[in-house]
Amino acid sequence: MQLTTEIRKDYMIVKLKGELDHHTSEEARKKIDKQYFNNNLLNIILDLRELNFMDSSGVGLIMGRYKNCMNRNGKISIVSTNPYINRILKMSGLLKLVKIYDTIEEAIRG
């Protein structure tokens, strides 16, 4: 899995590439939280468009970041177009808490 971050205003844009499972979500969690707290950021956009695999550990990762954002009165959004990943997001009830967009621009516009 590859993770890159970009900061635009008070948004941290996290792009995940490859496979998000229990093994890789632990790395992802450390990297995201470090950037988020060290730079005192508010909102997170998770770009999942280049993920080709995600299981319920990915759901746990998103839930955890959702809680961090809520604690700061920030918000988290997801950019995802892969039907298999969207299916898990929907199944887990995450879409009741977090909005899903097709592009980063749409996610920023909200």
SS3 16: strand
Least separation in angstroms between CB 66 and other proteins: 11
- Find where tokens 């319920």 sit: 56
Paired tokens of 72: 């700061």
- Does 50 sit near other proteins (CB under 8 A)? no
**For residues 82-101, which are near other proteins according to CB under 8 A?**
84, 88, 91-93
Mark residues 22-41: x for contact with other proteins by CB under 8 A, - for none: xx-xx--x------------
Which residue lies nearer to other proteins by CB, 10 or 18?
Answer: 18
What is the DSSP secondary-structure string of 17-64? Answer: EEEESHHHHHHHHHHHHHHHHHTT--EEEEEEEEEEEE-HHHHHHHHH
Least separation in angstroms between CB 94 and other proteins: 9
